[in-house]
Structure 1
């Protein structure tokens, strides 16, 4: 399927969701009217470019403006199954229906099925990842152990005792789990685990090879966000991310918002067709491109080449978005702190955050370091190393990402 055919398949769903959102979502109606548009102006996918892209940062402002997430919901919040919170904060509503994040096809493509017991190590605390991937695995018929992040000793015990056959979570966490198991005297090579579905951070070829060559675990990866759910996943050939057939994913120019040609890099822009929460033309901030001259595949939809970076200031660390604004808010006005810089590195396939800070004259650097670390962990939901330094250049960037990917 070429990209034009893919887009054309969404013409009617686009008309329907725009009309429904205009009639039932005060926030979406206000957005359309601000752009001088009515539902009659949107006759298909091509017309969506007339509506300015909505940013994730916009959701924070809109949701804070009133009940029902600032008018983005079309139903009372009490009728939802879950309401999650992502950094921002952005509230992510889940409708009361199975696999609403639409990950089932990704798990089935990765070979998950009724004979599998899955250890799900995506986070369950407030953020939606744990639940959304659990529901995807359940849609494929698998049993799920809700492991979350942390408590590795208990997770290893469960893997050994219950005959876990599959894993879902961050690739870096799977590596740490297997290494911890070996330290505890286990031999993971003898376990029945043979497949993994990973997301939320890059999967370098060397790490995929390590899982497969050392442990016999065949790894599939996918792409999505807390707001939108599934936006792409490996097919059986594991070459690129197949676009879903139940959500419109476009690659758009970061300046004009217009869709770009296959092969060109642009921002991922998403339109969902759910009726309870209207998300139309949401720019998620990630960069990608539609694959051209792709080898044959068993799944029909076009493919993305993968993750090509970010279009804005935020970065993803250990599966969570980190924005410089959050660090500024946490450290602004902290007594004894004169300057800081946060550096993101990657060691042995694991992201690390380090805050270099300059104490004021006479300040207790060690005590200030504890305060800085605590404030950042509270704001970013990630542990941050701290390092006192004598000076930081006045024109230095507050956030420096030194990671490299294979």
Structure 2
């Protein structure tokens, strides 16, 4: 079979039923065993959350909030159900610092599915160059490879000449790491005149992987595939041989919402990726990643039937400071929501004559002076700053998820 398991090709309606049936159980578990969720979801009846519409009414916990939460309630901000000992095999740190638990379950981060789609199989030797200290990336890859029956060489980062020597000696089947470090290793091998032809596949993550890099590796006989994963959630989505977007993991429920809000966007619109995890150890409910993406229509040509997203399209947190006051995407979204006559909107901040200026560009089919005045009043009320309003034709603003664009120049 060309799939990790039959779940990847089941009817979409069956998958949706299973995810929604698991929601009340996970919410009840988080409320009962994770103190922060106990407080946050205190007034939520878990048995009532059986649809995406009901889920969308719950608050979003954003990654940007984790460091502050963890300072108040160590080590995991009251969002985890485990502590030291049973259920928590390791703890890692990401910049912030933000601390993440790793459960003791096999393939805790669920990356084996993505490894399989990238061509890795039992009996392969994987040259893993992700870091093994502080951040979880090395362990994320190793536990996935082990779940597939692979052997792992824990290369870690740096020491390029030693990396080349190990590849030449051990003849690994595949590479795991960032695409840029793979390129560095290949260039060093060329410089040293060392053959590393055993590398025929690669699993890359952690940075952008444009088609030009993919094609350059393919020209050297290396088929490389990328995945979208985080230290908090594990696997979110992964690339398949179809090379057509990223297919969602089977064990997460993903929403795309307007940046700064919890309101889902229309299918195809760019918004923030919000994920509900079904991890018993770290049951993140409506976790805002801060990343922008968009849903792709239909199912993947590879036959996997889960929803697909375009991949990483930028950051959702476009908060900026204007005249000494912070302006948030959620405030701009709230202005647009007040006026249903509007389509997309974007707050453009510039500084002619070195003075900050805000202009809300709004799509409107029937613009009028009265509407402009009402929008300006809403903008002033919600941001505490004065701004201009400029109308544009429906469909003219780009579908890129930006609610705030900072064009200021300080030259």
TM-score class, shorter-chain normalisation, is 0.7 to 0.9
TM-score (norm 2): 0.72
Shift in Å, 1:199: 0.9
Equivalence map 1:337-352=2 (5 Å):
none
Who is 2:212 aligned against?
206
Aligned-residue offset at 1:187: 3.1
Aligned to 1:209, the other structure's residue is in SS state helix
Query: CA 1:278/1:132 → structure 2, altered by over 3 Å: closer, same or farther?
Result: same
Would you say the 8 A contact 1:28–1:278 is kept in 2? no
> What is the TM-score normalised by the length of structure 1?
0.73
1:382 equivalent in structure 2 = none
Return the offset for 1:186: 1.1
Moved more, 191-200 or 69-78: 69-78
| Corresponding residue for residue 82 of structure 2 | 75
Written as runs of structure 1 = structure 2, the 5 A alignment for 1:238-387 is 238-293=243-298, 296-312=301-317
RMSD, aligned α-carbons: 2.1
| Pairwise CA distance, 1:260 | 2.2
Is 1:251–1:265's contact at 8 Å kept on the other side of the alignment?
Answer: yes
Structure 1 residue corresponding to 2:34, chosen from 2, 15, 25: 25
Partner Cα separation in structure 2 for residue 285 and residue 49 of structure 1: 17
Where do 5+ consecutive residues of structure 1 fail to align?
315-393, 398-406
Q: Report the alpha carbon displacement of residue 305 of structure 1 after superposing the two structures with TM.
A: 1.4
Partners in 2 of 1:296 and 1:278 — Cα distance? 32
- How far does the alpha carbon of each residue in 1:162-192 deviate from its partner, in whole angstroms, 9 at most, with x for none? 111100110011001100111112133xx21
Tell me, yes or no, if the aligned pair for 1:10 and 1:44 is still in contact at 8 Å.
no
Q: What secondary structure, in the 3-state scheme, does the structure 2 residue paired with 1:286 have?
A: strand
- Could you tell me how far apart the structure 2 residues matched to 1:60 and 1:312 are? 16
- Aligned with residue 161 of structure 2, among 142, 153, 159: 153
Indicate if the aligned counterparts of 1:122 and 1:129 stay in contact, CA closer than 8 A: yes
Q: 2: CA distance between counterparts of 1:203 and 1:211?
A: 11
Shift in alpha-carbon separation, 1:313–1:83, aligned structure 2, 3 A: farther
In 2 relative to 1, CA 246–209 (structure 1 residues): closer, same or farther, beyond 3 Å?
Answer: same
Pick aligned residue for 2:50 from 30, 38, 43: 43
* Structure 2 alignment gaps of length 5 or more: 1-9, 320-407
Matched, 1:116 2:124: yes
Provide Cα deviations, 1:222-248, integer angstroms capped at 9, x if missing partner. 111111110001122222111011111
The reply to whether residue 66 of structure 1 matches residue 73 of structure 2 is yes
Paired residue total: 313
For residues 299 and 23 of structure 2, the distance between their equivalents in structure 1, rounded to whole angstroms, comes to 27
Displacement of 1:311 in angstroms is: 0.8
Describe the SS at the equivalent of 1:210: helix
**Contact 2:202-2:222 at 8 Å conserved across structures:** yes
User: Kindly tell me: are residues 287 and 281 of structure 1, through their superposed partners in 2, closer, same or farther at Cα, counting changes over 3 Å?
Assistant: same
After the TM superposition, which of the residue ranges 269-278 and 216-225 deviates more from structure 2?
Answer: 269-278
Question: In the aligned structure 2, how far is the partner of 1:295 from the partner of 1:232?
Answer: 13
The answer for the alignment partner of 1:361 in structure 2 is: none
Check the 8 A contact 1:212/1:218 in 2, yes or no.
Answer: yes
Q: Secondary structure at the match of 2:185?
A: helix
Q: Does 2:175 match 1:167?
A: yes
